[in-house]
Structure 1
Amino acid sequence: MKARFIVLLSAVMLGSGAFAQDCTTTAALAYDDAKAKNYDAAYAPLMKVKEECPDYSLATFQYLERVLKHKIDGASGEEKTKYINELIDVYLGRLEHYPDKTKKGDVYSDIALLKFDNKVGTTEDRFNAFDKAYTEDKENFTSPKGLYAYFDLMVNMQDAGDRELQDVFDIYDRVMAKIEEEEIYEADRLQPLIEKQDSGEDLTSKEAKTAKIAEQKLNNFNAVKDALNAKLGARADCDNLVPLYEKDFEAKKGDVAWLRNANARLSAKDCEDPLFFKISEALHQLEPSAASAYSLGQLAEADGDRGKALEYYNEAAELEKDPADKAKIYYRIAQNYKSSGSFSQARNFYRKAIQAKPSYGRAYLNIADMYADSANNCGQTAFEKRAVYWLAAEYVAKAGRVDPSLSKHANATVAAYNGRAPQKADVFQEGKKAGDAIQIGCWIGETVRIPNL
């Protein structure tokens, strides 16, 4: 009996070894073909390895993704559908067998994009695929194209009469919040690298690559925001919003969630309608919040009561937890101080906005604008006064880097400010050289270094 057990065990072990050897050989040949982009030759053996020994290597799934994308591009009809389904299976197989090396958000987003690009299933099916990516792993659902498609499909369903306008707003808010979250992350990565360059230090090759990637991602997210707003279009105009919320106000004025939603939408569009005041007041009484305080600030500002407006805005900033929304409140406060000529106070709040949201390029632009306006008052000599424009140009350049939507304007403004700053001959006559520090006085109180001219 013991001898028989040993024989059986040996047979199993031999079989297992043969199976492993077969996988190793088949995989090695298939991987070589895939590396050489001989995708048609790699297809069958890779599928065999996936089916018979999926735990052999993550590379099986990585190469199969490339192979099947190639197959999909060259196929049509039922054959194309077959390859699409196989690629979906590959994505899910990778998640199943290599969960520690695979992000659910990436997988579900890739599947959703595959269905979106190839019009697989109904509009609702495709929307649900993106919704799964968002709800299952929001943190890793970061594809700019995927985020746009998520919203685009909802708009299409609303256009077809299958969804309400409020559903469109809900997904818009969800997607925009996610984009702003990603922008803050990328700007946080970029900010210290910009500061390092501004101080005259060179970036390492790794840092330069990080900066390039961050700037590209900021560009991509900015493009998506533009596309989202274009897609939303007139749906979010006050002419549509006011009737939408007015018809339900009496029935919903005790519903905090409804009031919060309506308040946010009307506030975003600055809808100065009596309904906005009623909603804001009702919300602030039921649940004092950053949103309701901000709305009341808008209303006070519209009435010309700047002091009351600033009181509400500061209350809103203290209550707000979301960094992007907090930045918007600080920016609004700064704008009020700037318009009244309180530049130092304005800069304080612009900086708070940047601290909350490092990609807030418009805050940098406004600081630069105030510096330029103060140039004649912030220097003992004509050279020192003109040197203020170098500092203004630095702030504008930062604005263009952290917010790509401002880059064209920033480039033109930097050139204009540098044109007003001292030129090479002026620096020479002053007995100075590139890199020398110039202390800017008055309320500015900063140091600027003479650039290479």
Structure 2
Amino acid sequence: MKTKAILLSLMLITAFGSKTLAQEKCATLGSLFIEPAKAKNYEGALPHYDKLVAECPTYSMATYQYAEKMFKYFIKQGDNSKIAELDKVYNLRMQYYPAKTKEGELMMKMAQVKYDNEMGTKMEQFNNFDAAFKKDEDEFTSPKSLYTYFSLAVDLYNAGEKPIDDVFDLYDVVIQKIEKEEGKLASALTQLLDKQEAGTKLSSKEERKLNAYEKNLSAYGTVKGSVDGKLGQLADCPNLIPLYEKDFDNKKDDINWLRRAAGRLSAKDCDTPLFFKLVQQLHNLEPSAKSAYYLGKLADKDGDSSTALDYYNQSAELETNPGDKAKVYYSIAENFRKKGSYGKARSYYMKMVEVKPSAGIAYLKIANMIAKSANSCGGTVFEKRAIYWKAAEYADRAARVDGSIAGNARSTASAYRERAPQKSDIFTEGMAGKTITFSCWVGGSVRVPSL
């Protein structure tokens, strides 16, 4: 019994010792690679990488995080042989750290690297992005990659390798994805802006978040414009109308085709009898929020704003998609704005923002209505001009939540502030630091700047 106990003890000591030695070895190998990589000394880190992943592949996730940065550095320096190495890094990370790895995101990153370095045909490059998007759409969030994905589809159409319908379908998908990401960012940004405007000081962490949200919204706004620009004349009315006229008789019982065709003609405001035929057929086959919305647009074009409003309200009640519901609210708001019913228009612009927080155009329209009401809001010249401060606040918010109109919105805000009372006016009237309340439809108040 004593002999067996001694042997067991020796075995445990040996096993423990071996494990300790292995851990020490991995720690040494890890340090040799990670420390120089952390300092961006990639030439010093590279010689130790292969031995580390061969002998200690599960030493640390940091191994693969720094390896990604290292190989991207060498690729940027022009060493395309490292592209295959980067691909291996992603595969190893997925193999050894699956719970901490988003496969779709890595596929997207790899697709972008191959595209940037002109690896493969355009079709192969497109298929790489397509596979990544379909693997995990939620993680496909890079504005640059979203643009590249769509841009390749247009290039393939121009080369005769993709049908135009595929390009249009992908356009819808990419724009919807961009607007989804904008919505999430704008919603988070709005919460911080509301907190800030209520007089609560943001923490340093919240300030960083606010700046990041604005930066990312600006990037998505730029990409949305680039996607529209890439689609260019392909989706102009002179191309769309003959395309859908040609297919109408064969597709008139295909509800999905009718929806897409009517949607694209509507988005481009194509003035054609075909639009009426599409909408009527769609409404006959499947009365819906979409068909009611299109009938509203037709009534608007005919100058029948009352009928248009009825259709828009029907559409708003039936619509479940936030982006499409926002379009309906926008149309209703525009209907009231054109009639001069600014208070009602504002309520629908704000409904639009509730379902689509990144709808900066709603804030900008409100800003313009407020500015146009200057002469009817306030008892004195000073008070009437003070309304421009309120208009500028709305224009500022438009710029912050919607990168696609930020430049125009900031210019508008600046122009309105120039029309507001200046320092000399504030001093002469003795209004510094006072609050002015508006009793007209605008409501609310502004605080006059202190001198």
Shift of 1:319: 2.0
2:66 pairs with 35, 60, 63, which one? 63
CA deviation string 1:51-105 (max 9, x = no partner) = 22221110110111122112223344xxx23x21110111122122222322233
Instruction: After TM superposition, list the pairs within 5 Å mapping 1:347-426 onto structure 2.
Output: 347-426=346-425
Instruction: Supply the distance in 2 between the matched residues of 1:279 and 1:396 (Cα, whole angstroms).
Output: 37
Show the counterpart of 2:24. 21
Bigger Cα displacement from structure 2, 380-389 vs 86-95: 380-389
Shift of 1:177: 0.6
Shift of 1:356: 1.5
Show the counterpart of 2:437. 439
Instruction: Supply the distance in 2 between the matched residues of 1:62 and 1:29 (Cα, whole angstroms).
Output: 15
Instruction: Supply the distance in 2 between the matched residues of 1:286 and 1:70 (Cα, whole angstroms).
Output: 57
Is residue 36 of structure 2 the alignment partner of residue 36 of structure 1?
A: no
Quote the sequence identity (%). Answer: 49
Instruction: Supply the distance in 2 between the matched residues of 1:163 and 1:123 (Cα, whole angstroms).
Output: 11
Show the counterpart of 1:427. 426
Bigger Cα displacement from structure 2, 211-220 vs 11-20: 11-20
Letter in 1 for 2:337: K
2:448 pairs with 436, 447, 450, which one? 450
Secondary structure of 1:441's counterpart equals: coil
Contact 1:65 1:90 (C-alpha < 8 Å) held by counterparts: yes
Instruction: Supply the distance in 2 between the matched residues of 1:450 and 1:118 (Cα, whole angstroms).
Output: 55
Show the counterpart of 2:144. 145
Q: How many residues align?
A: 448
Unpaired runs of 5+ residues, structure 2, are none
Instruction: Supply the distance in 1 between the matched residues of 2:258 and 2:399 (Cα, whole angstroms).
Output: 37
Instruction: After TM superposition, list the pairs within 5 Å mapping 1:4-19 onto structure 2.
Output: 6=8, 14-19=17-22
Shift of 1:421: 2.0
Instruction: After TM superposition, list the pairs within 5 Å mapping 1:202-221 onto structure 2.
Output: 202-221=201-220
Shift of 1:110: 0.8
Instruction: Supply the distance in 1 between the matched residues of 2:7 and 2:248 (Cα, whole angstroms).
Output: 80
Instruction: After TM superposition, list the pairs within 5 Å mapping 1:321-332 onto structure 2.
Output: 321-332=320-331
Q: Structure with the greater relative contact order (CA < 8 A, sep ≥ 6): 1 or 2?
A: 2
Distance 1:420 1:74, change over 3 A: closer
Contact 2:225 2:404 (C-alpha < 8 Å) held by counterparts: no
Contact 2:146 2:174 (C-alpha < 8 Å) held by counterparts: yes
Bigger Cα displacement from structure 2, 268-277 vs 315-324: 315-324
Instruction: Supply the distance in 1 between the matched residues of 2:75 and 2:385 (Cα, whole angstroms).
Output: 61
Instruction: After TM superposition, list the pairs within 5 Å mapping 1:258-277 onto structure 2.
Output: 258-277=257-276
What TM-score do you get using the length of structure 2 for normalisation?
A: 0.93
Distance 1:41 1:429, change over 3 A: closer
Distance 1:109 1:444, change over 3 A: same
Bigger Cα displacement from structure 2, 185-194 vs 220-229: 185-194
Show the counterpart of 1:319. 318
Unpaired runs of 5+ residues, structure 1, are none
Is residue 53 of structure 2 the alignment partner of residue 50 of structure 1?
A: yes
Distance 1:5 1:279, change over 3 A: farther
Instruction: Supply the distance in 1 between the matched residues of 2:182 and 2:328 (Cα, whole angstroms).
Output: 18
CA deviation string 1:200-248 (max 9, x = no partner) = 4433211211111111111111111111111101000111111111111
Distance 1:362 1:74, change over 3 A: closer
Secondary structure of 1:326's counterpart equals: helix
Show the counterpart of 1:198. 197
Instruction: Supply the distance in 2 between the matched residues of 1:259 and 1:413 (Cα, whole angstroms).
Output: 39
Instruction: Supply the distance in 1 between the matched residues of 2:283 and 2:95 (Cα, whole angstroms).
Output: 48
Instruction: Supply the distance in 2 between the matched residues of 1:111 and 1:55 (Cα, whole angstroms).
Output: 22
Bigger Cα displacement from structure 2, 421-430 vs 275-284: 421-430
Secondary structure of 2:136's counterpart equals: helix
Contact 2:218 2:403 (C-alpha < 8 Å) held by counterparts: yes
Superposition CA RMSD, Å: 2.1
Instruction: Supply the distance in 1 between the matched residues of 2:438 and 2:279 (Cα, whole angstroms).
Output: 44
Letter in 1 for 2:174: V
Instruction: Supply the distance in 2 between the matched residues of 1:342 and 1:113 (Cα, whole angstroms).
Output: 49
Secondary structure of 2:118's counterpart equals: coil
Shift of 1:166: 0.6
Shift of 1:274: 1.3
Show the counterpart of 1:184. 183
Contact 1:272 1:299 (C-alpha < 8 Å) held by counterparts: no
Shift of 1:446: 1.5
Bigger Cα displacement from structure 2, 347-356 vs 411-420: 411-420
Shift of 1:288: 2.1
Shift of 1:15: 4.2
Show the counterpart of 1:105. 104
Instruction: Supply the distance in 2 between the matched residues of 1:73 and 1:4 (Cα, whole angstroms).
Output: 59
Contact 1:263 1:291 (C-alpha < 8 Å) held by counterparts: no
Show the counterpart of 1:72. 75
What TM-score do you get using the length of structure 1 for normalisation?
A: 0.93
Instruction: Supply the distance in 2 between the matched residues of 1:4 and 1:135 (Cα, whole angstroms).
Output: 59
Contact 1:47 1:64 (C-alpha < 8 Å) held by counterparts: no
Contact 1:297 1:310 (C-alpha < 8 Å) held by counterparts: yes
Shift of 1:48: 1.9
CA deviation string 1:245-293 (max 9, x = no partner) = 1111111111111111111111111112111111111112222222222
Distance 1:428 1:72, change over 3 A: closer
Shift of 1:8: 7.0
Show the counterpart of 2:158. 159
Is residue 131 of structure 2 the alignment partner of residue 132 of structure 1?
A: yes
Bigger Cα displacement from structure 2, 441-450 vs 98-107: 98-107
Instruction: Supply the distance in 1 between the matched residues of 2:449 and 2:344 (Cα, whole angstroms).
Output: 29
Secondary structure of 1:247's counterpart equals: helix
Contact 1:399 1:406 (C-alpha < 8 Å) held by counterparts: yes
Instruction: Supply the distance in 2 between the matched residues of 1:217 and 1:452 (Cα, whole angstroms).
Output: 33
Shift of 1:452: 3.6
Secondary structure of 1:248's counterpart equals: helix
